[in-house]
Amino acid sequence: MNFKNVDKSVWARVIALFLVLANQISVSFFEFKLLPFADEEIYEGVSIVVTTLVAFWTSWKNNSFTDEAQEADVYLKEYKANKKFNKKLEG
C-alpha cells in the first residue's frame, strides 16, 4: 500500500464514509446521536440517506491506494489527454 501518493479526494471520501458509518453505528447499536435532531424518525432517515450517499460516492470513485493503481491512474490521464488532443487535430 502506498498511502503517501493517495489523492486528497480519495482521503476525503474515505473519511466521510468512516464518519457516516460511525454515526450510523452509534445510532443503531448505542442509541447515541452524533448529529442531534429533535425528532428520532427524522434523524434516522437523514442518517440513512447520508450513509447511503457517501457509500455510493466512495464506491463509485476510483480509490487508488496501491503503487500499481496510482501508476494506472497516471497512464489513464495521459491516455485521455492524448485522445482529446488527437480529436482536436482531426476536427
Residue 33, CB half-sphere, CA atoms under 13 Å: how many?
A: 13
CA 78 distance to own-chain centroid: 23
Assigned C-alpha cell, 41? 424518525
CA 88 distance to own-chain centroid: 33
- pLDDT the model gives residue 81: 93
Domain assignment present for 3: no
Residue 19's domain comprises 8-65
Residue 9, CB half-sphere, CA atoms under 13 Å: how many?
A: 8
Domain assignment present for 34: yes
Tens digits of pLDDT across the chain (91 residues): 778 888 888 888 888 888 888 878 887 787 766 655 566 777 788 888 888 888 888 877 777 888 898 899 999 999 999 998 888 888 6
Domain assignment present for 80: no
Domain assignment present for 47: yes
Domain assignment present for 44: yes
Number of domain units in the chain: 1
Domain assignment present for 37: yes
